[in-house]
C-alpha cells in the first residue's frame, strides 16, 4: 500500500541542521534569581526591566507546568538548560561589514542574505542568533518613516519609555508557566513600532536561529501599531540537529490601536527530532495580540512544520468596537512530532469579528491537535465568529484531534464551527499517478491544495517559501 | 479497423492477478494493434475493472503470473505515472474526487508530463488554456469545470466527460475506457461516443469496457470479448455483442463449467 511510501516522502532529511562553529559566550546551566540578575546586567538593563524579570521569576516559581494539552514528553529539567548564549562579538555592530562573516554566512546558507548587495529588496530583516540579534537591515530607511525596527535589547536602551509602556501588557508575566519563564529570562527578539498613520513601507521579518546545544531560546517580540498604522511582519525559525531536546519558550505581544492593523506570519521550521523522536525543539510559545482600538485588526498566519513539540495558541483580544481577529494555520507533523496548537478569540467589544482557519496534516506516528477557544463576552453585541478546522491524515498511524471550545455570554452572537477530516487515499494518489503525475508531486499537489486557504494569506514574498518548505518536507526518493 | 500488419501496441499474455489473497484475474490473453477498437463485456464482478487497473498499475493488485508488453516493452515494470507518460490511459469507472486540487492545474501538469515524455515543450498556463479550450469542445464541456477541484461535486456524467477531456489532452496510444458510458444521459452518451470516435485513429487502440450495445451502436468495435471469472471466455466481432444482448450471459456458466472440467490450470485459448 502506498501510504508507506507517503511516509518516506514526508520524512525528508532536515536541511537546516548544520551547526555554525563560532565562539560563544554562555553562562552556566541552571536558573536562579542570580541568573536572572546576570542576564539583566549583561544586557545593561534599566531597573524597571530587572524588576519585571524578578517578579516574573518569583511568579514562575509558584506556578506549575501545564498538562492539559494532548502532548506527552519527559519532564523538563529546568536546571539543565543554559539561559544565555551569545556569539562572541563585541557589541552589536553599527555596520554589517563588521559582523562576523561566519554569522553572515550562516544566514545566507539559510536563505536570508543580509549584506547590502544581496539582501531581499523589499523585506527588512532582524537576524537573531541564539540569544542575540546580530543585524537588522534597512533600519535607516524605516526610520525615515518613523518606523522603529530593531532588537528588543536595543529598544530597551533606545526607547525605554515605549518598552516600559507596552511590555507585558498583553501577556502579563504570570499569564502561564512558559510566559513567566520567558519574562524572567528572555534574551532577545524584535521590537517594532509603527507610529500613527504610517503604513510600513516594507515587509518586516525576524529570522530566529538556534545554534548552541543545551541552550534555551527565549525570545520576546513586541509590535505596536498606533492609530491608523499598519505592518506586515514575518518570523522564520530553524535550528541544528542535536539529539537532545531544546526548549524554546517565546512570547509575542501585539498592540493595535484605532484603525491600525498587524499581519503576523510565522514559518516555523525548528528541528523536529529524528524519525524515532530523538532530539528536536520543544516549542512552547505564547502569542497574543490586543485589538485595543476601534476597527483595529490582527491577523495571525502560521505555517508550523518543525519542532518535536508545539504548544502554541496565537490569540486575539478584540476589545475595540468592530475590531477583527484572524487566525490562519497550517500545522504539519510527521514521525513522532506532536502539535497542540490553535487560537483564542476573545470577543470583548461590540460587533467584533473573528475568523479561524486551521489545517492540520499528520503523517507518520505524529499527533496533531487543534485547540481553539471562541469567547464572546457580555458586551460583545453582534459578535461573529467563523471557524473551520480541517485535518488531513497521511498513513494510518497518525492522529488528529479537534478541541473547539465556545463560550458565549451573548445570545445574539453568531458562532459557526465547521470541521472535517480527510485522508490522502491510495485511490486519489493512483488517480493522479495514472495521469503521469509522479507520486511525490501528487502528494504535494494534494497537500498544497489542502493548505491553499492559508497560504493565500501569507505575504507574497513568503507564500513561495511556505510552498517550498512543505514540498521540502514532502520531497522523497521519487524523481 | 483491423490491419493484420498494424503495429502491436499491447499484448497481454496469461495474466494472473490477485488482490490481497484473492485471485481475480486467472489468465487473461488479449492483443491490441494500432487502429483497433475492442469492447470487453461481461457480468458484474467478472474482472473487467481489475484488468484495467492492473494495466494502469494500481498498487492494490499483485500480478502473480503472465506478462504485459506495451510497444515491445515490459509494462509491468513501470510505475503508474510512467505508463501514463508513454501513452497508456485509463478512463475510470469511478473517477475519484480530489478536493483542493484545481482541475485546470491538474490537467496542465498531466498534459505536460506526457508532453515531456514525447520531447515536446512544456505549456505555460496561457498556452495550456488555449489547448484546453480547444479540447473542451470534444466533450462539449463548460469551461467552468476547469475552475473547480478535480471531480469534486461533479455529477456522474460530468466526471465521465472530464475523463474523456483528459484523454483528449493526453492523446494516448492505448485508451482503456471503463464503463465511460454508464451514468450518461442520452445526449451525453452521444457526445462522449463522438469524442471517443474522434480520438480513435489509425495509430492508437481503444479498449471499451461496457455493458451496453447502445455504446457499440455509436462506436463500432472491431472485436468484442466476453470476460468471465477473470479470463476472456469468448472473442468475436461486433455481432457477438448483439448476440449477448439477446441471449444474456447464461451460456457463460455452462462454458465455465466445461472449462473447469477440462483443466483447472490450462490457459484459455483465444480465438
Ligand atoms: N480491492 C478489492 N478488494 C476485494 N475484492 C476486490 C477488489 N477489487 C476487486 N475485487 C473483486 O474482484 C472481482 C472483480 O471486480 P471488478 O471490479 O474487476 O469487476 P467488473 O467486471 O469491473 O464488474 P462491474 O461490471 O460491476 O464493474 C469482484 O468480485 C470484486 O469484488
Ligand atoms: Mg467494473
Report all structural domains of chain B as residue ranges with CATH numbers, in order of start. 8-95+171-265 (3.40.50.300)
Lowest mean pLDDT among A3-17, A144-158, A234-248, B107-121: A3-17
User: Can you tell me the distance from the alpha carbon of A179 to that of A181, in angstroms, rounded to the nearest whole number?
Assistant: 5
The answer to whether B141 and B161 have CB atoms below 8 angstroms apart is yes
Q: Which of B59, B60, B110 has the CB atom closest to A435's CB atom?
A: B110
Indicate the top mutation candidate among B41, B50, B178, B231 to test ligand 1's pocket, ranked by most ligand atoms within 8 A of CB: B50
Residues 6+ apart with CB under 8 A from A201: A141, A142, A145, A147
Q: pLDDT at residue B266 above 90?
A: no
The pLDDT, as a whole number, for residue A439 is 85
Residue closest via CA to ligand 1's atom 7 equals: B19
State mean pLDDT over A21-33.
85
The pLDDT, as a whole number, for residue A12 is 54
DSSP symbol at A82: B
Residue range A344-394, pLDDT digits in tens:
999 999 999 999 999 999 888 889 999 999 999 999 999 999 999 999 988
**A→B interface, C-beta within 8 Å:** 1-2, 422, 425-428, 430-439, 441, 445-446, 448-450, 452
The pLDDT, as a whole number, for residue A18 is 74
User: Can you tell me the distance from the alpha carbon of A209 to that of A227, in angstroms, rounded to the nearest whole number?
Assistant: 33
Index of the ligand 1 atom closest to the CA of residue B52: 18
The pLDDT, as a whole number, for residue A267 is 84
* Cβ(B182) – ligand 1 distance below 6 Å: no
Q: Which of B58, B106, B150 has the CB atom closest to A430's CB atom?
A: B58
Index of the ligand 1 atom closest to the CA of residue B211: 25
The pLDDT, as a whole number, for residue A114 is 77
Q: How many CA atoms lie within 13 A of B97 on its CB side?
A: 12
In a domain, A479, yes or no: no
B63 or A279: which carries more pLDDT confidence? B63
Residues 6+ apart with CB under 8 A from B205: B9, B10, B32, B33, B34, B35, B36, B37, B38, B173, B174, B175
Ramachandran assignment for A261, one of left (phi > 0), alpha (psi -120 to 50 degrees), beta (any other): beta
Q: Report the DSSP beta bridge partners of residue B227.
A: B42, B232
Q: Which of B57, B59, B85 has the CB atom closest to A426's CB atom?
A: B59
Residues 6+ apart with CB under 8 A from A183: A52, A53, A56, A60, A168, A173, A220, A251
Residue with the three cell numbers 494534494: A446
Lowest mean pLDDT among A58-62, A181-185, A249-253, B246-250: B246-250
Count of CB contacts below 8 A, A vs B?
Answer: 79
* Cβ(B50) – ligand 1 distance below 6 Å: yes
pTM over 0.90: no
Residue with the three cell numbers 475552475: B147
The answer to whether A256 and A263 have CB atoms below 8 angstroms apart is no
Asked casually if ipTM beats, i.e. exceeds, 0.85, the reply is yes
Residue closest via CA to ligand 1's atom 25 equals: B44
* B105 three-state secondary structure: helix
In a domain, A278, yes or no: yes
> Could you tell me the distance, in angstroms and rounded to a whole number, from the CA of residue B200 to the centre of ligand 2?
22
> Could you tell me the distance, in angstroms and rounded to a whole number, from the CA of residue B19 to the centre of ligand 1?
9
* Mutate which: B53, B79, B81, B117, vs A, most A CBs within 10 A: B81
Buried b (16+ CB within 10 A) or exposed e, A36-52: bebbbeebebeeebbeb
B4 in reach of chain A (CB within 8 A): no
In a domain, A26, yes or no: yes
Q: pLDDT at residue A474 above 60?
A: no
- What angle separates helix A439-455 from helix A3-10, to the nearest 10 degrees? 60
The answer to whether A82 and A197 have CB atoms below 8 angstroms apart is no
> Could you tell me the distance, in angstroms and rounded to a whole number, from the CA of residue B45 to the centre of ligand 2?
7
The three cell numbers of residue B105 are 492545474
> Could you tell me the distance, in angstroms and rounded to a whole number, from the CA of residue B89 to the centre of ligand 2?
16
The values of phi and psi at residue A292, to 5°, are -75, -30
Q: A430 to chain B: nearest residue by CA?
A: B58
User: Can you tell me the distance from the alpha carbon of A394 to that of A194, in angstroms, rounded to the nearest whole number?
Assistant: 43
| β-pair type (B8-19, B61-70) | antiparallel
* Mutate which: B50, B85, B93, B98, vs A, most A CBs within 10 A: B98
User: Can you tell me the distance from the alpha carbon of B89 to that of B175, in angstroms, rounded to the nearest whole number?
Assistant: 5
Containing domain of residue A8, as a range? 3-474
In a domain, A9, yes or no: yes
- The DSSP element (H or E) to which A356 belongs, if any, is strand A353-362
The answer to whether A302 and A314 have CB atoms below 8 angstroms apart is yes
Q: pLDDT at residue A1 above 70?
A: no
The pLDDT, as a whole number, for residue A124 is 83
* Mutate which: A5, A431, A452, vs B, most B CBs within 10 A: A431
* Cβ(B258) – ligand 1 distance below 6 Å: no
Residues, chain B: 271
* Cβ(B60) – ligand 1 distance below 6 Å: yes
Q: pLDDT at residue A74 above 50?
A: yes
Contact: A436, B81; criterion CB under 8 Å: yes
Neighbours of B266 (CB within 10 A): 9
Residues 6+ apart with CB under 8 A from A392: A359, A360, A361, A362, A400, A421, A422, A423, A424, A447, A450
Residue range B109-157, pLDDT digits in tens:
999 999 999 999 999 999 999 999 999 998 999 999 999 999 999 999 9
Beta strands, E only, B34-113:
37-42, 61-70, 73-74, 88-91, 98-102
In a domain, A104, yes or no: yes
Query: If you compute the radius of gyration of chain A from its CA atoms, what whole number of angstroms results?
Result: 22
The pLDDT, as a whole number, for residue A479 is 22
Residue with the three cell numbers 537532545: A244
Indicate the top mutation candidate among B49, B181, B211 to test ligand 1's pocket, ranked by most ligand atoms within 8 A of CB: B49
Domain total of chain A: 1
Q: How far is the first Cα of chain A from the last one, in angstroms, to the nearest whole number?
A: 19
B152 in reach of chain A (CB within 8 A): no
Indicate the top mutation candidate among B18, B24, B26, B211 to test ligand 1's pocket, ranked by most ligand atoms within 8 A of CB: B24
> Could you tell me the distance, in angstroms and rounded to a whole number, from the CA of residue A62 to the centre of ligand 1?
65
State mean pLDDT over A281-298.
96
Q: How many CA atoms lie within 13 A of B204 on its CB side?
A: 21
Contact: B105, A450; criterion CB under 8 Å: no
Q: pLDDT at residue A6 above 90?
A: no
State mean pLDDT over B217-229.
96
B9, B37, B67, B110, B224 from B72: Cα distances, Å? 8, 20, 11, 24, 24
* Cβ(B48) – ligand 1 distance below 6 Å: yes
User: Can you tell me the distance from the alpha carbon of B26 to that of B41, in angstroms, rounded to the nearest whole number?
Assistant: 16
Residue closest via CA to ligand 1's atom 19 equals: B45
The answer to whether A241 and A271 have CB atoms below 8 angstroms apart is yes
A9 or A120: which carries more pLDDT confidence? A120
Best-predicted range by mean pLDDT (A74-78, A250-254, B254-258): A250-254
Query: What is the CA A160 to chain-centroid distance, rounded?
Result: 25
Amino acid at each position: 500500500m502506498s501510504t508507506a511510501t507517503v511516509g518516506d516522502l514526508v520524512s525528508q532529511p532536515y536541511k537546516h541542521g548544520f551547526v555554525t562553529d563560532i565562539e560563544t559566550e554562555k553562562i552556566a546551566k541552571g536558573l536562579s534569581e542570580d541568573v536572572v540578575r546576570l542576564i539583566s546586567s549583561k544586557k545593561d538593563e534599566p531597573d524597571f526591566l530587572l524588576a519585571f524579570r524578578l517578579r516574573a521569576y518569583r511568579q514562575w516559581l509558584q506556578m506549575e507546568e501545564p498538562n492539559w494539552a494532548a502532548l506527552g514528553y519527559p519532564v523538563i529539567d529546568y536546571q539543565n538548560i543554559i539561559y544565555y548564549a551569545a556569539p562572541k562579538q563585541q557589541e552589536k555592530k553599527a555596520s554589517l561589514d563588521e559582523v562576523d562573516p561566519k554569522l553572515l554566512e550562516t544566514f545566507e546558507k539559510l536563505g536570508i542574505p543580509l549584506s547590502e548587495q544581496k539582501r531581499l529588496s523589499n523585506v527588512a530583516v532582524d537576524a537573531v542568533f541564539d540569544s542575540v540579534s546580530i543585524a537588522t537591515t534597512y533600519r535607516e530607511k524605516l526610520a525615515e518613516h518613523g518606523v522603529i525596527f530593531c532588537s528588543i535589547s536595543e529598544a530597551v536602551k533606545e526607547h525605554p519609555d515605549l518598552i516600559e509602556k507596552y511590555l507585558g501588557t498583553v501577556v502579563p508575566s504570570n499569564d502561564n508557566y512558559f510566559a513567566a519563564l520567558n519574562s524572567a529570562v528572555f534574551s532577545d527578539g524584535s521590537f517594532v513600532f509603527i507610529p500613527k498613520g504610517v503604513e510600513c513601507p516594507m515587509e518586516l521579518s525576524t529570522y530566529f536561529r538556534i545554534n548552541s546545544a543545551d541552550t534555551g531560546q527565549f525570545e520576546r517580540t513586541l509590535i505596536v501599531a498606533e492609530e491608523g498604522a499598519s505592518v506586515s511582519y514575518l518570523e522564520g525559525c530553524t535550528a541544528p540537529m542535536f539529539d537532545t531536546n531544546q526548549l524554546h519558550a517565546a512570547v509575542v505581544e501585539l498592540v493595535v490601536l484605532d484603525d491600525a492593523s498587524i499581519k503576523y506570519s510565522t514559518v516555523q521550521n525548528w528541528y523536529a527530532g529524528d524519525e524515532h523522536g530523538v532530539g528536536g525543539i520543544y516549542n512552547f510559545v505564547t502569542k497574543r495580540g490586543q485589538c485595543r482600538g476601534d476597527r483595529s485588526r490582527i491577523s495571525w498566519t502560521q505555517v508550523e512544520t518543525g519542532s518535536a513539540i508545539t504548544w502554541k495558541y496565537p490569540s486575539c483580544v478584540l476589545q475595540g468596537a468592530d475590531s477583527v481577529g484572524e487566525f490562519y494555520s497550517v500545522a504539519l507533523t510527521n514521525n513522532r512530532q506532536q502539535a497542540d496548537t490553535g487560537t483564542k478569540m476573545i470577543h470583548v467589544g461590540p460587533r467584533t469579528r473573528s475568523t479561524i482557519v486551521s489545517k492540520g496534516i499528520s503523517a507518520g506516528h505524529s499527533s496533531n491537535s487543534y485547540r481553539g477557544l471562541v469567547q464572546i463576552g457580555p458586551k460583545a453585541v453582534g459578535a461573529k465568529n467563523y471557524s473551520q478546522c480541517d485535518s488531513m491524515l497521511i498513513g494510518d498511524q497518525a492522529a488528529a484531534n479537534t478541541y473547539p471550545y465556545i463560550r458565549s455570554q451573548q445570545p445574539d452572537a453568531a458562532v459557526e464551527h465547521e470541521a472535517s477530516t480527510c485522508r490522502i487515499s491510495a485511490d486519489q494518489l493512483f488517480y493522479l499517478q495514472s495521469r503521469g503525475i509522479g507520486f511525490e508531486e501528487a502528494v504535494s499537489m494534494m497537500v498544497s491544495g489542502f493548505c491553499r486557504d492559508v497560504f493565500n494569506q501569507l505575504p507574497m514574498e513568503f507564500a513561495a517559501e511556505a510552498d517550498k518548505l512543505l514540498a521540502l518536507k514532502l520531497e522523497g526518493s521519487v524523481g | 479497423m483491423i490491419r493484420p500488419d498494424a503495429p502491436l501496441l499491447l499484448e497481454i499474455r496469461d495474466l494472473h492477478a490477485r488482490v490481497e489473497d484473492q485471485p481475480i484475474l486467472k489468465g487473461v490473453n488479449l492483443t491490441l494493434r494500432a487502429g483497433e477498437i475492442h469492447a470487453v463485456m461481461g457480468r458484474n464482478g467478472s474482472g473487467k475493472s481489475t484488468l484495467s487497473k492492473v494495466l494502469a498499475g494500481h498498487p492494490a493488485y499483485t500480478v502473480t503470473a503472465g506478462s504485459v508488453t506495451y510497444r515491445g516493452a515490459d509494462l509491468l515494470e513501470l510505475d503508474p505515472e510512467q505508463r501514463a507518460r508513454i501513452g497508456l490511459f485509463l478512463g475510470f469507472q469511478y473517477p475519484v474526487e480530489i478536493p483542493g486540487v484545481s482541475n485546470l492545474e491538474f490537467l496542465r501538469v498531466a498534459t505536460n508530463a506526457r508532453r515531456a515524455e514525447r520531447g515536446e515543450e512544456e505549456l505555460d498556463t496561457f498556452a495550456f488554456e488555449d489547448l484546453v479550450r480547444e479540447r473542451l469542445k470534444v466533450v462539449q464541456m463548460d469551461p467552468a469545470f476547469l475552475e473547480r477541484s478535480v471531480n469534486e461535486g461533479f455529477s456522474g456524467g460530468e466526471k465521465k466527460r472530464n475523463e474523456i477531456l483528459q484523454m483528449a489532452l493526453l492523446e494516448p496510444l492505448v485508451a482503456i475506457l471503463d464503463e465511460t458510458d454508464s451514468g450518461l444521459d442520452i445526449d451525453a452518451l452521444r457526445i462522449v461516443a463522438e469524442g471517443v470516435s474522434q480520438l480513435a485513429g489509425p495509430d492508437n487502440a481503444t479498449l471499451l469496457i461496457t455493458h451496453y450495445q447502445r455504446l457499440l451502436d455509436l462506436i463500432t468495435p472491431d472485436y468484442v470479448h466476453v470476460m468471465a471469472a477473470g479470463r476472456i471466455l469468448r472473442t468475436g466481432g461486433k455481432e457477438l455483442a448483439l448476440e449477448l444482448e439477446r441471449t444474456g450471459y447464461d451460456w457463460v456458466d455452462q462454458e465455465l463449467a466445461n472449462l473447469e472440467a477440462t483443466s483447472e490450470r490450462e490457459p484459455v485459448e483465444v480465438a
